[in-house]
C-alpha cells in the first residue's frame, strides 16, 4: 500500500517526490542543527527542491492543518480515556503532544507541500542515464 509511486511513501519516508529515491532533508527532523532544512536538489534525479523563492511559505497552511488535527485527536482521546479530565488536563495533553510532535510536523508540512506540486515519475532515473 505504501510502495513507491504512492505520495504517502514519499511523505512518510521523506524521500524525493519525483523519484522516491533521494532524501529530501539534510538530517533527521529531531536533530536541532538540520531541523527542517531541505536539500538543494535530489541526489538521484536532480529535482530542484526549492521550486521558486519562498516556495515553502505555503507549507504553513499544512502545518496549521496538522496542528488542528492533532488538537482535535488529542483533545477527544484525553476526554474519552481520562474519566475526570477537566479543561486544564485536556489543554496540557494537547500542548505536550504539540511540543513533542512539532519538529516532525514541521518536516511533514514541507514534504506534503511539495507533493502537491510534484508528481512521481517512475522512469525519471532511467531517462537520466
The whole-angstrom separation of Cα 28 and Cα 58 is 22
Report in angstroms how near the CB of residue 56 gets to Zn ion at its nearest.
Answer: 17
Q: Which is nearer to Zn ion, 47 or 93 (CB)?
A: 47
Minimum distance from residue 98 beta carbon to Zn ion (Å): 31
Shorter beta-carbon distance to Zn ion: residue 88 or 127? 127
Q: Which is nearer to Zn ion, 39 or 93 (CB)?
A: 39
Which residues sit at the interface with Zn ion, rule CB under 5 A?
16, 18-19, 22, 42, 44-45, 47
**CA separation for the pair 38, 36 (Å, rounded):** 6
Please list, in sequence order, all residues whose beta carbon lies within 8 angstroms of the beta carbon of residue 110, skipping any fewer than 6 positions away. 24, 36, 38, 56, 59, 62
Of 36 and 41, which has the nearer Cβ to Zn ion?
41
Instruction: Check the CA dihedral 34-36-38-43 and report its sign.
Output: positive
Angle at 55 between CA 126 and CA 109, to 5 degrees: 85
Q: How near is the Cβ of 52 to Zn ion at its closest, in Å?
A: 18
Residue 19 C-beta: closest distance to Zn ion, Å: 3
CB 24 within 8 A of CB 37: no
Amino acid at each position: 500500500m505504501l510502495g513507491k509511486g504512492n505520495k504517502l511513501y514519499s511523505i512518510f519516508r521523506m524521500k524525493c517526490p519525483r523519484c522516491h529515491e533521494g532524501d529530501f532533508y539534510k538530517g533527521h527532523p529531531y536533530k536541532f542543527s538540520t531541523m527542517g532544512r531541505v536539500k538543494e536538489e535530489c541526489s538521484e534525479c536532480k529535482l530542484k527542491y526549492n521550486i521558486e523563492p519562498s516556495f515553502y511559505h505555503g507549507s504553513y497552511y499544512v502545518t496549521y492543518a496538522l496542528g488542528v488535527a492533532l488538537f482535535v485527536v488529542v483533545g477527544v482521546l484525553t476526554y474519552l480515556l481520562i474519566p475526570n479530565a477537566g479543561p486544564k488536563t485536556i489543554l496540557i495533553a494537547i500542548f505536550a503532544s504539540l511540543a513533542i510532535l512539532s519538529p516532525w510536523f514541521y518536516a511533514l508540512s514541507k514534504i506534503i507541500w511539495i507533493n502537491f506540486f510534484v508528481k512521481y515519475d517512475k522512469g525519471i532515473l532511467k531517462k537520466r542515464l
